[in-house]
Amino acid sequence: MAAVPTASPVLARVYRGPRVESAHRGSAAVVDSRGSRVAACGDAEGPVFTRSTAKPFQAIPLLLAGGEKAFKLGDAEIALMCASHGGEPRHVAVAGKLLRRGGFRVSDLECGAHLPMHGPSARELIRRSEAPTPLHNNCSGNHAGILLACRLLGYPTAGYSDPGHPLQRRTRSLLAFYADAPESAITTAVDGCSLPVFRLPLAAIAAAYARLLADRLPREDRGGPAVRARIVRAMLRSPEMVAGSHRFTTDFLIAGRGRWIGKEGAEGVYAVGLRPEGRGAAALGLAFKIEDGSARGRDAVTLAMLAKMGELPEDARRALAVYAEPPVLNARGQVVGRVEADAPLRGRLPARRRARARSRPAAARASR
């Protein structure tokens, strides 16, 4: 008799009035930089598409090749290469600057065009009767960085989004290393911006984010630790470039005060890397996927997961309170419900983290 599949746990419930109207199920994994699973819920080994959580790793080939010096890149440029930006004027300007540094034109971008995700910027384009260009695409900085890498490494620039392109093969190999996964196990499809999107176990994505913040790793490329640190530093110094105005990821980076980095991906994916706690300690990575692809509970789930892990200090909790239990609004702007997140993680956190996790719920209750 065939086994009955077990339903994934609920990560977020949507209330209308006092009653649950909908539920979003999903899976999560917490893995340390040594590759040990610390906690999980649902199917932590199930393969998922990385979507835009892959972007920090897609920036690595350019920086390993000396791209920061060659193209005079600063924090804003490197952060935008890791971004799913809102298409605000500042984002468009930096993406254009990246192209010019390599002698490229907007038409060289293979990401396509869409209206800015930032509402005021989209409305301003419409007011001026201007069509969006590929620079407004939330992935334009990512693509511009890839073009620069092709220029520096001597790869063809046309067709850079093809899975067989040498830079895409290099990126896949690097991701396999950081995710501690066999390269042969990473499959690809086509992302919304036309780049290859990688599919690998959820726990492997968590491991990759842990290793992004690790102090040292075995067998890493020469310059790898410095490049990882540079990417993290750029995201922390220019958080407004990683997402944008009134966006969770930007506010999350600011609130963390250097403790973590985070990056969203489409279809309900999010990943967080947490710095090691002291000399010789392992960094932690968290990755989760909301099964139905909804993003409306994603921010709240991120905070609930960190709170469960004992990794949401009071200052960050207060700064991000607006995201912790987002309201459900009707067409008149009335609050008619809320989204409430859960973090059904099971596992064994390091002792210091467990102590904070035990103390967090009481503090959270007292502040509500």
Angle at 206 between CA 244 and CA 36, to 5 degrees: 155
Q: Which residues pair with 12 in a beta bridge?
A: 24, 341
Do the beta carbons of residue 272 and residue 285 sit within 8 Å?
Answer: yes
Q: Rounded distance, CA 59 to CA 78, Å?
A: 8
Residue 187: per-residue pLDDT: 96
Residue 3: per-residue pLDDT: 55
Q: Which whole number is the average pLDDT over 187-215?
A: 97
Examine the pLDDT at 2 and tell me if it is beyond 60: no
Q: What is the pTM of this model?
A: 0.93
- The chain-wide mean pLDDT, for the chain, equals 94
Q: Which whole number is the average pLDDT over 148-152?
A: 98
Examine the pLDDT at 177 and tell me if it is beyond 90: yes
Residue 363: per-residue pLDDT: 33
| Tens digit of each residue's pLDDT (9 = 90 or more) over 209-264 | 999 999 999 888 889 999 999 999 999 999 999 999 999 999 999 999 999 999 99
Q: Which residues contact 88 (CB under 8 A, 6 or more apart)?
A: 116, 118, 121, 244, 245
| Tens digit of each residue's pLDDT (9 = 90 or more) over 284-325 | 999 999 999 999 999 999 999 999 999 999 999 999 999 999
Share of the chain above pLDDT 90, in %: 90
Strands (E), the chain: 10-16, 19-32, 37-41, 47-49, 187-190, 196-201, 260-265, 269-274, 284-290, 327-329, 335-341, 346-347
Q: Rounded distance, CA 327 to CA 14, Å?
A: 9
Residue 351: per-residue pLDDT: 53
| Tens digit of each residue's pLDDT (9 = 90 or more) over 328-366 | 999 999 999 999 999 999 998 765 554 455 544 433 333
Q: How far is CA 124 from the centre of its chain?
A: 28
Examine the pLDDT at 1 and tell me if it is beyond 80: no
Q: Which whole number is the average pLDDT over 158-177?
A: 97
| Domain residue ranges of the chain, discontinuous segments joined by + | 10-367
Instruction: For tokens 């980076």, name the residue.
Output: 253
Examine the pLDDT at 54 and tell me if it is beyond 80: yes
Q: Rounded distance, CA 61 to CA 167, Å?
A: 8
